[in-house]
Structure 1
Amino acid sequence: MDTLIRRYKRLLTATSTTYIRSLMDTINWDNRLIAIRGARGVGKTTLMLQYLKLHYANDSQSALYTSLDSLYFTQHTLSELAEQFYLKGGKCLFLDEVHKYPSWSKEIKNIYDEFPELKIVFTGSSLLQLLNAEADLSRRCISYNMQGLSYREYLKLFHQIHIRPYTLEEILESSDGICNEVNSQCRPLAHFEDYLKHGYYPFYLEGNAEYYTRIENITNLILEIELPQQCGVDISNVRKLKSLLGILSSEVPFMVDITKLSALAELSRTTILAYLQYLDRAKLIHLLYSDNDSIKKLQKPDKIYMENTNLLYALTFKDVNKGTLREVFMVNQLTYLHRVEYCTRSADYTIDSKYTIEVGGKSKDGKQIAGSKKAFIAADDIEYSAGNKIPLWAFGFLY
Structure 2
Amino acid sequence: MEALINRYRNLLLSLKTDFKRSHYYKINWKGRAICILGARGTGKSTLMLQYLKENLPLEKSLYLSLDDLYFKHENLINVAERFYQLGGRNLLLDEVHKYENWQRAVKNIYDFYPDLKLIISGSSILDLQKSQADLSRRLVYYELPELSFREYLSLKLKIELKQFTLTQVLKNHSKITDQILSSVPDPMLHFEHYKKRGAYPFFLEDEIDYVSKINQLINVIIDYDLPEGKDVSTSTQTKLKRLLYLLSTSVPFSPNITKLAEKTETTRPRLLEMLHMLEVSKLIKSLRSSSKGFSMMNKPDKIYLANTNLIYALALENQNQGNVRETFFYNQLENSGSILTTAKNGDFLVDGQFEFEVGGKNKTFNQIANIPDSYIAADEMVYGTGNKIPLYLFGFLY
TM-score bin, normalised by smaller chain: over 0.9
For the pair 1:227 / 2:226, whether they are aligned, the reply is: yes
* Aligned residue number for residue 346 of structure 2: 347
Residue ranges of structure 2 left out of the alignment (5+ in a row): none
* Aligned residue number for residue 356 of structure 1: 355
| Contact 1:130/1:136, CA 8 A, preserved across alignment | no
Q: Distance in 2 between matches of 1:117 and 1:236?
A: 47
* Aligned residue number for residue 82 of structure 1: 80
Q: Distance in 1 between matches of 2:326 and 2:254?
A: 13
For the pair 1:11 / 2:41, whether they are aligned, the reply is: no
Q: Distance in 2 between matches of 1:232 and 1:249?
A: 25
* Aligned residue number for residue 173 of structure 1: 171
Residues 42-191 of structure 1: matches in 2 within 5 Å?
42-56=42-56, 59-129=57-127, 132-187=130-185, 188-191=187-190
Q: Distance in 2 between matches of 1:295 and 1:130?
A: 16
* Aligned residue number for residue 32 of structure 1: 32
| Contact 1:289/1:297, CA 8 A, preserved across alignment | no
Task: Return the offset for 1:95.
Answer: 0.4
* Aligned residue number for residue 212 of structure 1: 211
Q: Distance in 1 between matches of 2:169 and 2:120?
A: 34
| Contact 2:129/2:230, CA 8 A, preserved across alignment | no
What code does the residue aligned with 2:15 have? T
Q: Distance in 2 between matches of 1:81 and 1:111?
A: 10
| TM-score between the two structures when normalised by the length of structure 1 | 0.95
| Contact 1:130/1:137, CA 8 A, preserved across alignment | no
Task: Return the offset for 1:368.
Answer: 1.2
Task: Return the offset for 1:53.
Answer: 1.3
Q: Distance in 1 between matches of 2:321 and 2:298?
A: 30
For the pair 1:331 / 2:338, whether they are aligned, the reply is: no
Q: Distance in 2 between matches of 1:8 and 1:262?
A: 46
Q: Distance in 1 between matches of 2:382 and 2:365?
A: 18
Q: What do residues 313-353 of structure 1 show as CA deviations (whole Å, max 9, x unaligned)?
A: 0111543222221111001111111111122x211100111
What code does the residue aligned with 1:329 have? F
Q: What do residues 47-68 of structure 1 show as CA deviations (whole Å, max 9, x unaligned)?
A: 1111111123xx3221100101
- For 2:193, what is the secondary structure of its paired residue? helix
- For 1:127, what is the secondary structure of its paired residue? helix
Task: Return the offset for 1:170.
Answer: 1.2
Deviates most, 273-282 or 381-390: 381-390
- For 1:189, what is the secondary structure of its paired residue? helix
Q: What do residues 173-195 of structure 1 show as CA deviations (whole Å, max 9, x unaligned)?
A: 22232122112222322311011
Residues 241-390 of structure 1: matches in 2 within 5 Å?
241-293=240-292, 299-336=298-335, 337-343=337-343, 345-390=344-389
What code does the residue aligned with 1:180 have? D
| Contact 1:252/1:304, CA 8 A, preserved across alignment | no
Q: Distance in 2 between matches of 1:294 and 1:282?
A: 20
Task: Return the offset for 1:130.
Answer: 9.0
Deviates most, 169-178 or 112-121: 169-178
Identity %: 45
- CA RMSD across the alignment: 1.8
| Contact 1:176/1:385, CA 8 A, preserved across alignment | yes
Residue ranges of structure 1 left out of the alignment (5+ in a row): none
The 1:317–1:212 alpha-carbon spacing in structure 2 relative to 1, beyond 3 Å, is: closer
| Contact 1:68/1:101, CA 8 A, preserved across alignment | yes
- How many residues align? The count is 396
| Contact 1:356/1:376, CA 8 A, preserved across alignment | yes
| Contact 1:347/1:358, CA 8 A, preserved across alignment | yes
Q: What do residues 374-395 of structure 1 show as CA deviations (whole Å, max 9, x unaligned)?
A: 1111011112221111110110
| Contact 1:131/1:137, CA 8 A, preserved across alignment | no
Q: Distance in 2 between matches of 1:295 and 1:100?
A: 28
- For 2:16, what is the secondary structure of its paired residue? coil
Q: Distance in 1 between matches of 2:366 and 2:296?
A: 28
The 1:119–1:252 alpha-carbon spacing in structure 2 relative to 1, beyond 3 Å, is: farther
The 1:354–1:132 alpha-carbon spacing in structure 2 relative to 1, beyond 3 Å, is: farther
- For 2:355, what is the secondary structure of its paired residue? strand
| TM-score between the two structures when normalised by the length of structure 2 | 0.95
Q: Distance in 1 between matches of 2:328 and 2:87?
A: 47
Task: Return the offset for 1:43.
Answer: 0.6
Task: Return the offset for 1:78.
Answer: 1.0
Q: Distance in 2 between matches of 1:153 and 1:134?
A: 39
Deviates most, 243-252 or 268-277: 243-252
The 1:131–1:170 alpha-carbon spacing in structure 2 relative to 1, beyond 3 Å, is: farther
| Contact 1:61/1:88, CA 8 A, preserved across alignment | no
| Contact 2:284/2:304, CA 8 A, preserved across alignment | yes
| Contact 2:251/2:322, CA 8 A, preserved across alignment | no
